[in-house]
Amino acid sequence: MKIAFSQPALPETGVLVVTALAGAKLSQAAEQLDKRMKGGLSRAIKASRFTGGKAQSLSLLVPGGTRLDRVLVLGLGKANEIDSPGLQAAGGRLYSALGRKVKAATVAVDAVEKCKLSAARMAADLAFGARLKSYRFDKYRTKEKTEEKATLGRLVVACSATTRARALYRGLDKVADGVFFTRDLVSEPPNVLYPETLARHARSLTKVGVKVEVLGMAQMKKLGMGALLGVGQGSIREPRLVVMRWDGGAGRGRGRAAAPVAFIGKGVTFDTGGISIKPAANMHDMKWDMGGSAVVIGLMKALAGRKANVNAVGVVGLVENMPGGNAQRPGDIVTSMSGQTIEVLNTDAEGRLVLADALWYCKERFKPKFMIDLATLTGAIIIALGHETAGMFSNNDVLAGRLAAAGQAVREPVWRLPLGEDYDKALKSIIADMRNIGGRAAGSITAAQFLQRFVGKVPWAHLDIAGVTWSDKEAPTAPRGGTGFGVRLLDRLVADHYEGR
């Protein structure tokens, strides 16, 4: 879908979208339309249950007194409660209402008294929400019905501050590119997406200025990445470690100013559980066990696309966890890149083994300002937080606070859970430095405790995104399937606190 911005003027024909506030108070454009319709819009609203609430919309076909084909009225709620996420959700509702019914539409956006956002920001957010909702993963559908296909190919956003709105949207559009890339990767089937091909997708970021390195088995063996390599040894697909660098910040070269911010992702392209095999029911969902790596790759695309003023590093460990004749066994002991030994009691607790080496590698090579890892790590986090909120663990209160604020700002919430020495004791092994599971109790916490052993003193946060990477229901700005949760969150974190610093 193409999005354009124009000066405020109501179209004579086609499809028009206007807005209303709580109490069915019409916007300036809606009032103009009502006059053209000789009060027809007001009468239609009074005859309906539409009150201008932020989750409401009202559709009118062939509105009288005009040559328009259709009018859609979007409710924005109370003026003093309008915010960017709410407007993005309104843009998503706009697309849901029109996306499979019309080819082009114009949405009129007016300044709203008592609203803290400018008309330009409102216009950009509405457009961003519509674009996010327009995502579809349909490359493998060969017999799709015509009525199921998207038709809305052009959306014109009319507002007074056209130049400013266009500039604001330009950055959001690049973030949407990153979100879509993440959704694409998470949606691919595991016979198409495996370590080698996922690394190839990451390499495509060179087109937007990201430097990409791909480490193979020989290089990882030389580095001593026994934890990561052990996970992949049962598969015919060889593991990869991908390193992505965006050098867009000031102070490039030397010193603390040049130190990058770092993001590390778990990339298990399919997780059978290995020898500790999972139940067959719903195992197909494990194609998106590489969700953390997809977020990191999508984030790097977003940062580079909008030319973020920051030095950033993305590191993703890519493996396939399969039961084979050479597969890792319960009871094996592996030596991580850090030199610490790990007793593998459950081969289905594999993501933490991948991250252990990826985190250590990132810490040692790049000396980053902070490290944030993302992983579909534990089912326990879904029991704790459901499918609405990601779990967050951190050794740094400032970083944790900034992440929480960024999540609230973009409606990708995170909730901090505790770390502590008492939880750490659950990882004690009698024959190695640690074991890879801590028992049934507090499973997400003990997994985070395991990861903390590989970050040293670097400010660090772990986001367990197992419950939010994939959704079986529609959301205001996302269809069913891969959500892209994390890209907007981390982009906002960088934009608010780390650009130009």
Alpha-carbon distance 469 to 351, whole Å? 15
Catalytic residue among 25, 78, 100, 278: 278
Angle between helices 443-452 and 351-366 (to 10 degrees): 30
Beta carbons of 170 and 296 less than 8 angstroms apart: no
Count of Cβ atoms closer than 10 Å to residue 293 Cβ: 35
What Rg do the C-alpha atoms of the chain give, in angstroms? Answer: 25
Question: Which own/partner pairs from 428-433 qualify as long-range (CB within 8 Å, at least 24 positions apart)?
Answer: 429/342, 429/343, 431/333, 431/343, 432/333, 432/341, 432/342, 432/343, 433/340, 433/341, 433/342
How does DSSP classify residue 364? H
Alpha-carbon distance 175 to 5, whole Å? 18
- What residues contact 163, with CB distance under 8 A and at least 6 apart? none
- The neighbouring-strand residues paired with 60 are 71
Active site residue 278: yes
Alpha-carbon distance 364 to 359, whole Å? 9
| Cα within 13 Å of Cα(235), Cβ side | 27
Alpha-carbon distance 277 to 499, whole Å? 44
DSSP reduced 3-state for 217: helix
- The neighbouring-strand residues paired with 357 are none
Q: What burial class does residue 329 get, using C-beta atoms within 10 Å of its C-beta: 0-12 exposed, 13-18 middle, 19+ buried?
A: middle
Alpha-carbon distance 305 to 171, whole Å? 8
Instruction: Write out the H or E segment, with its range, that includes residue 69.
Output: strand 67-75
Alpha-carbon distance 344 to 432, whole Å? 10
Instruction: Write out the H or E segment, with its range, that includes residue 393.
Output: strand 390-394
- The neighbouring-strand residues paired with 391 are 415, 464
Query: In the structure encoding, which two tokens stand for residue 214, read together?
Result: 């791909």
Total residue length of the chain: 501
Count of Cβ atoms closer than 10 Å to residue 223 Cβ: 18
Catalytic residue among 352, 402, 411, 453: 352
Write out the catalytic residue numbers.
278, 352
